[in-house]
Amino acid sequence: MSKNLVIVESPAKAKTIERYLGSDYTVKSSFGHIRDLPKKGLSVDIENDFTPEYEIPADKKKIVAELKKSIDKDTLVWLASDEDREGEAIAWHLCYALKLDPKATKRIVFHEITKPAIEQAVKNPRNVDQKLVDAQQARRVLDRIVGYELSPVLWKKVQAGLSAGRVQSVAVRLIVEREREIDAHEPKSSFKLQAAFSIDRHEIKAELPKPLENEEEAKGFLSDCKDANYKVAGTDKKSATRNPSPPFTTSSLQQDASTKLGFSVRQTMSVAQRLYESGRITYMRTDSTNLSTIAIAAAGKYIEGKFGKDYHESRQYKTKNASAQEAHEAIRPTDFSVESAGDDDQQEKLYQLIWKRAIASQMAAAQLEKTQINIDISTRPEKLIAKGEVLKFDGFIKVWGGGKEDTILPDIKVGAGLELQEMKAIQSFDRPPSRYSEASLVKKLEELGIGRPSTYAPTISTIQSRGYVEKTDSEGQERELKTLVLSGGEIKSGSVTENTGVERKKLVPTHLAERTNDFLIRHFAPILDYKFTAHVEADFDKIADGDVIWHKMIADFYKDFAPLVKKSETVSRQETAQARELGTDPKTGKPIFARFGRYGPMLQKGNAEDEEKPVFAPLPADTTINNVTFEQALEMFNLPRVVGKTEDGEEITANIGRFGPYIKVGKTFVSIKPHDPMTIDETAARELYKAKKETEANRYIKKFSGKLAIVRGPYGPYITDGKKNARIPKGTKPEEIDEQAAKSLIEAAPARGKRRNKK
């Protein structure tokens, strides 16, 4: 048995570390947390200082047993989980699960998986830091209390199966509020004025700095310029610099990987984890922009050798976040001389991004020359402005990119006359706030001090998987813009079109998000307050510093939270339905509502208290409870609509269901997307039904008695009797299987597992 046992979190990490340690060391993995709160129940003893009731999950018992077997009285155990609070908690849990003394067990941390870093860590072991463990416990316990006590309130008052969380609910609030800002936005029009001049065969393009408010003002300006003279009122030439950005933190990496590579936040963290575990980059969960002196020296050596001394400028960036303490360095390559690394395309792309950002941060600033020409108009007090920019020295841009094309203005003297070629005023509209992307949501959460590097990816994944937010694309819509052009002494009116509102991978709240958010703000305002959520994060930092006792911090929170939960029990479910009365049905005289039901938004005709039961209908496509009109709602109560008949004389009806519009013939349902059930005609419906029947007919390779059949599936042919499925043995042709053989294979096949309840 090895004298030294090193325990890390992941198998990939274990393999890399084992390469750097000698034969006296055995490296094993805990596969993440070894103990945790049980999945079911609160598992927090509120009466006893909020003591968490940890357990070893069933899937970890075998791992614990194997680790115990690796330890005897002569074994020296080294706990090498990640250096953040979560990693510290894993080390602490390992002590308890393996019956190790936390004060005697060696704890080692390293920011990168390289031989020097591992050797240095082994030379400088420490004990488990209880303050960091307590900070992690406080977060875990607080989030469990909020989730466990708040979620059941949502089940009773809003909709079954919902979940709430301290950070997740605030993230949803941000997205809902942004959507309402967009809905409330009323675009205002103005006119942007541009002019083109010539002098000595050079063209100069200029603009009016301030837009003109309306078409009348734009026409007046152009009219005044018909007979105007133009001359250079002044020139200004000055040097400017552009400095590189600091190396990546977790959030800035997530943002850049999203905008430059199209990666989701979760994808970025997964790929970065693999790069870290293979020893390519430093630890990827950090809010520090610092680089070690060794890293700065290594980057400088590479830059001078590759580009020359002029391109090198050593920098140490100051971390903006005062509480940044979970990692000591920004994300960077472990070896700057390796320009490309990774086991697949995604890893290579992300590594390149990290490498370029880190190298660029230690390079010289870009040197620019900016020129501005001010142009007088003889008939107007305003001045037109022409701007030029020339890159004199590319500096960090050589690696990072982002340099603009040079705009060169000619050298002209003050007082020189200019000849107007054309002047035009183009209508423009101010834009509403942009919807959040994953990257911009991370940026906003970081600005507000909500969450930490390790929480952004799971938070954004959770709000999408729980149905609060959808990631959508929008192709936008065409809009006509008026134009006025002055040329040759004449003003001509015209128009151009623009495509406005194009969006890619933006986060849009669902009806459920709006309804849940409104309920939580009404009854749990302190929990959804941005300042409160940021204040909690600051408290976790104080616990990690030893300034606050963790269970007292939880007690202070709970004394305000518990009364809110109790008070919410008196809220009626009707209050959360958010019913909006649209009008009165002219045929029956009954009111028509748009409201939330148990399974989402819907239309209702009549009241629940009426003798005759209400009639329900789905919302029309692309509408919400807030914007559906009475006329649209009235049409929906005509569904299901008889479209016609099939060639065999069977009736075809059209309707909207849970999964969108469809037609029905007998017991056969056929999706008709993107057709509208209100307008689809008999011919189109027949074609869709015929195609469905052909698909079903081609599905069967052979039919036997009852429901026994051989069918084509997405992964190849198989046998089914409607209750069980059986694989076809390798090398056997489906067409050659007879009924008896099919029955035998079905009998030998394992029974179907029970479907798991997603709720």
Read off the pLDDT band of 577 (50, 70, 90): low
pLDDT of the residue at 755? 43
Residue 658, pLDDT above cutoff 70: no
Annotated active-site residue 436? The verdict is no
Higher pLDDT, residue 355 or 604: 355
Q: What share of the chain is helix, strand, coil (3-state, %, to 5)?
A: 35, 25, 35
Pairwise CA distance, residues 384 & 206, whole Å: 6
Residue 757, pLDDT above cutoff 50: no
Phi, psi of 109 (to 5 degrees): -135, 150
What does the radius of gyration of the chain's CA atoms come to, in whole angstroms?
A: 34
What is the tens place of the pLDDT at every residue in 280-305?
A: 999 998 888 999 888 999 999 999 99
Determine the 3-state secondary structure of 35 from DSSP: coil
Nearest to 176 by CA among 682, 514, 544, 493: 514
Residue 568, pLDDT above cutoff 50: yes
Beta partners for 429? Answer: 189
Task: Name the average pLDDT for the chain.
Answer: 89
What is the tens place of the pLDDT at every residue in 663-682?
A: 899 888 888 888 888 888 98
Reading the block at residue 456, the tokens are: 């952004």
Structural element, H or E, at residue 671: strand 668-671
Pairwise CA distance, residues 573 & 585, whole Å: 25
- This prediction has a pTM of 0.78
- Which CATH number is 4-128 given? 3.40.50.140
Lowest-confidence range among 381-390, 428-437, 739-748?
739-748
Residue 324, pLDDT above cutoff 70: no
Read off the pLDDT band of 647 (50, 70, 90): confident
- Which CATH number is 250-360 given? 1.10.290.10
Q: How many Cβ atoms sit within 10 Å of the Cβ of residue 684?
A: 15
Lowest-confidence range among 341-355, 367-381, 385-399, 656-670?
656-670
- The domain spans of the chain are 4-128, 189-243+366-429, 250-360, 577-636, 641-699, 704-748
User: Domain 189-243+366-429 in CATH: superfamily?
Assistant: Topoisomerase I, domain 3 (2.70.20.10)
Could you say which of 25, 283, 558, 689 is catalytic?
283
DSSP structure class, residue 69: H
What is the tens place of the pLDDT at every residue in 532-546?
A: 888 998 999 999 999
Reading the block at residue 11, the tokens are: 């198998």
Please compute the mean of the pLDDT values over residues 142-160 and round it to a whole number. Answer: 87
CB 372 within 8 A of CB 336: no
